[in-house]
Chain A
Amino acid sequence: MEITEYFNLLFTDYTLQTITLGTAVLGALCGMLGSFAVLRKQSLLGDAISHAALPGIALAFLITGSKDSNTLLIGALISGLIGTFWIRGIVKKTHLKSDTALGLILSLFFGFGMLLLTFIQKMPNANQAGLDKYLFGQAATLVSSDVWTMCIIAGLSLLILLVFWKEFKLLLFDADYTKSLGFNVKFLDVLITFFIVISIVVGLQTVGVVLMSAMLLAPAAAARQWTNSLSVMVLLAAIFGAFSGVLGTAISASSNNLSTGPVIVLIAAVFVLFSFIFSPKRGLLFREIRYQSNRKDLELHKTLAFMYHIVKTHDNINHPHAIKILNNFHGFTRKSLQKLESRELITVTKTMWSLTEKGFSTAANLYNQQEENE
């Protein structure tokens, strides 16, 4: 199936519509909440939670015997939350650092989950097949009720974000100030963490335990590069997330043997890479260009300053001087003289140069940054 064919089918095929809508909503949800995770320096929390959710899924299945995805998700949610609060407990009450706590919970919960899964697999009950889709995710198994769950959760988190926008923003950038203003910091903290955990848990079925953290991080990290405003960042992250979801589904549906999760993650990674390089303010490319031009300016300024020191000794600043006297100064070239002339800082006549009025005042204020900026 070609990609174009996929987009044609998108308007007719119900299953494809469901899956595409599902991944799009998931991407947007993760992007939105992921922005908070990234800014709160909880990037790897997503990784830990998604792994910690596994035993919850297995236990929910063992207890209820049902494979209904909502039941399993509740199990995942509970064990994800236990994992999250245990991580906090370890970091707050012992001297173990957060990276150790994250790694511990991640691997220990996951190992316990694997124990339960292999235990379930060997049970005589034939109903157990399909639990391992939570490991790597299978977007193809999304049905409309799953998509409804996602939409409801996305709507709910959007509502909460809008209602508590000011508080979350404050908490994000100055927790102490928030506390001193009398907001219930603990409640806000738990609320936002709770929604981050929920968004991870609903994504497990689609992207899987292992790759879920990237869904949360990548759109937010890409969006961060384009803006310094929280609202724009959240919006952009949601758009990036939704696009990676849709494009990932399109690509994986249009070729054989490509599971959706990894493709979505790679698309999101491309967004990140693109943003890292090409974002106009923070991007590596423009940063390098700015760096180079600053260097060139510095060379020019050095030449100008040298000239200024010569000119300073004369009464008439426009008095022409021979280019030859610049020879024992190494920073100048024909080109740099031309450049200075094009900026109307000096005038050059064959073998002579002289500072203009503008050049003189620029040179005089060269080291007086403040004045220049004003």
Chain B
Amino acid sequence: MSSAQIEIQLIACLVAIACAIPGTFLVLRKMAMISDAISHSILPGLVIGFFITEDLNSPWLILLAAVTGVITVIMVEFIQKTGLVKEDTAIGLVFPALFSIGVILIAKNANDVHLDVDAVLLGELAFAPFDRLSVNGVDLGAKSIWIIGTIVVITLTLLITFFKELKVSTFDKQLAATLGFSPLVIHYGLMSIASVTTVGAFDAVGAILVVALMIAPAAMAYLLTNDLKKMLIIAILAGIASALIGYWVAHYLDASIAGSMTTVLGFLFLLVYLFAPSKGLISVLYRQKRQQVEVYLLTFMLHLQNHSEESERHINHLGEHINWGKMQSKTVVDLALKNNMIVIDNNIISLTEKGQGFTQKAIDYITTNSTVAIEEMKDDFFLFRG
């Protein structure tokens, strides 16, 4: 590994960390699309900042562009407050307009601005190590490392200092307000951090891929845990993993690093989406199926209890009466048999004592709607599952 390669990977990891932290809170606060809006609308800020500072890596440029990000949030909220359109429409109206202004500004001043819309949107991590920071002729490493490193340090410091406030205001706004934390300050603080991160990361990974790095690791972590601290750690780790794997994939394919980082994130998310324990697609589908069978079983047993006449309890009759398919009735009957809820005598099904007790409980629950009954039933259902 050459030193440039190490630097690129370091930058990628730092960007992943810087994005994962505000990203987690954006996902939890249901404001993920705000990051998309910010990433687009910083463009005019960047262009104007560039006119003033004439240096793409100047801290002032970053601040100015970040202010545009916060202004976007304010504009979106203003439009939402007027109630003229739904809130997501407000986001969708503001950022394309600002982005268009940015594109036109660049196009109109193409000779003076060494800024490329493609570069802003897509970034090029491979070039990052060429822009060196040197003080008194001593090479201190790539500029991007310092910029993003500073952002990471600031974000982490703020996170640790205001962790409690952030946590409370994210999960219970009213409580936070009652306790005396201004939700407004925390809200705009978070927005500012998100803006600064987006701007700081744009020339490394590009504005749109910042969105991927903010949302995808947080979404993955959210599918894996319900604990905020664990969620932050998982998000950061997922970001770093995708940064490193993505770099090497890009290396072998000779393609965009940012693109391959996102693709790796996409695959990781797909895996988590499918296989996450208890919240992944497969376990959700499995659970839904099981609950369905449980409800069928209950219906079946209630039917048995309601009908003492043998003709109603004949095994062939049940299929017609409750309108079940063959497979379905077989599953339900087998399940009931296995749990000793019923006995089949000469094709006539009758409830056992256990089955009757169970059905009685179910009726109690349905008629009284008391939660005590359902708790006991849950244990019974648990028996079937085992």
Q: A and B from one assembly?
A: yes
Instruction: List the B residue with the shortest CB-CB distance to A272.
Output: B93
Q: Binary interface profile of B, 80-114, with partner A (CB < 8 Å = 1, else 0)?
A: 00101110110111001101110110011010000
Min CB–CB distance B24 → chain A (angstroms): 11
Contacts A47-B92, A51-B208, A95-B279; is A210 near B284 (CB within 8 Å)? Answer: no
Q: Could you tell me if B96 and A118 are in contact, using CB atoms closer than 8 angstroms? A: no
Name the one of A93, A107, A262, A269 contacting B281, with C-beta atoms under 8 angstroms.
A93
Q: Could you tell me if A259 and B107 are in contact, using CB atoms closer than 8 angstroms? A: yes
Residues of chain A in range 17-67 having any CB-CB distance to chain B below 8 Å: 38, 41, 43-44, 46-47, 51
Residues of chain B in range 193-227 having any CB-CB distance to chain A below 8 Å: 206, 208-209, 211-212, 214-216, 218-219, 222-223
Q: Binary interface profile of A, 247-266, with partner B (CB < 8 Å = 1, else 0)?
A: 00000000001110111011
Q: Binary interface profile of A, 60-76, with partner B (CB < 8 Å = 1, else 0)?
A: 00000000000000000
Residues of chain A in range 99-122 having any CB-CB distance to chain B below 8 Å: 99-100, 102-104, 106-119, 122
B342 CB-CB contact with A under 8 Å: no
Q: Could you tell me if A114 and B108 are in contact, using CB atoms closer than 8 angstroms? A: no
Contacts A103-B215, A135-B121, A259-B103; is A38 near B260 (CB within 8 Å)? Answer: no
Q: Could you tell me if B208 and A265 are in contact, using CB atoms closer than 8 angstroms? A: no
Min CB–CB distance A170 → chain B (angstroms): 20
Q: Could you tell me if B262 and A38 are in contact, using CB atoms closer than 8 angstroms? A: no
B contacts with A: majority SS: helix
Q: Binary interface profile of A, 194-229, with partner B (CB < 8 Å = 1, else 0)?
A: 000000000000000011011001100100110000
20 interchain pairs, CB-CB under 8 A: A47-B36, A47-B92, A94-B280, A100-B32, A103-B33, A103-B211, A104-B215, A107-B208, A108-B212, A110-B262, A135-B121, A210-B96, A213-B92, A221-B84, A221-B85, A258-B108, A262-B101, A262-B103, A269-B97, A272-B93
- Give the number of chain A interface residues (Cβ < 8 Å): 59
Contacts A114-B122, A136-B117, A265-B97; is A44 near B33 (CB within 8 Å)? Answer: yes
A-B pairs with the 6 shortest C-beta distances? A111-B262, A115-B259, A214-B96, A107-B212, A262-B100, A114-B259
A-contacting 9-mer, from B10-18, B265-273, B297-305: B265-273
Instruction: List the A residue with the shortest CB-CB distance to B100.
Output: A262
Query: For B261, what are the chain A residues with a Cβ–Cβ distance below 8 Å?
Result: 111
B31 CB-CB contact with A under 8 Å: yes
Min CB–CB distance B303 → chain A (angstroms): 26
For the A-B complex with A95-B279, A107-B36, A262-B101 known, give 14 more contacts whose Cβ atoms are closer than 8 Å.
Answer: A41-B86, A43-B92, A100-B30, A103-B35, A104-B32, A107-B209, A107-B215, A107-B216, A110-B209, A114-B206, A211-B96, A211-B99, A221-B84, A272-B93
Contacts A100-B219, A262-B103, A266-B100; is A111 near B258 (CB within 8 Å)? Answer: yes
Query: For A102, what are the chain B residues with a Cβ–Cβ distance below 8 Å?
Result: 32-33
Min CB–CB distance A86 → chain B (angstroms): 9
Q: Binary interface profile of A, 77-91, with partner B (CB < 8 Å = 1, else 0)?
A: 000000000000110
Instruction: List the B residue with the shortest CB-CB distance to A283.
Output: B84
Q: What interface size band does chain B fall in? A: 35 or more
Min CB–CB distance A240 → chain B (angstroms): 13
Q: In this complex, which of A89, A94, A116, A263 has the most chain B Cβ atoms within 10 angstroms of its Cβ?
A: A94
**In whole angstroms, what is the CA distance A38 to B96 when docked?**
16
Q: In this complex, which of A103, A211, A213 has the most chain B Cβ atoms within 10 angstroms of its Cβ?
A: A103
**In whole angstroms, what is the CA distance A94 to B221 when docked?**
13
Min CB–CB distance A287 → chain B (angstroms): 8
Q: Binary interface profile of B, 24-40, with partner A (CB < 8 Å = 1, else 0)?
A: 00010011110110001
Name the one of B100, B219, B255 contacting A211, with C-beta atoms under 8 angstroms.
B100
A301 CB-CB contact with B under 8 Å: no
A10 CB-CB contact with B under 8 Å: no
B172 CB-CB contact with A under 8 Å: no
B57 CB-CB contact with A under 8 Å: no
A282 CB-CB contact with B under 8 Å: yes
Min CB–CB distance B157 → chain A (angstroms): 26
A276 CB-CB contact with B under 8 Å: yes
Query: For B262, what are the chain A residues with a Cβ–Cβ distance below 8 Å?
Result: 107-108, 110-112, 114-115
Query: For B284, what are the chain A residues with a Cβ–Cβ distance below 8 Å?
Result: 93-94
Query: For B372, what are the chain A residues with a Cβ–Cβ distance below 8 Å?
Result: none
Query: For B31, what are the chain A residues with a Cβ–Cβ distance below 8 Å?
Result: 99
Instruction: List the A residue with the shortest CB-CB distance to B34.
Output: A99
Q: Could you tell me if A99 and B84 are in contact, using CB atoms closer than 8 angstroms? A: no
Query: For A135, what are the chain B residues with a Cβ–Cβ distance below 8 Å?
Result: 118, 121
Query: For A217, what are the chain B residues with a Cβ–Cβ distance below 8 Å?
Result: 89, 92-93
Query: For B209, what are the chain A residues with a Cβ–Cβ distance below 8 Å?
Result: 107, 110-111, 114
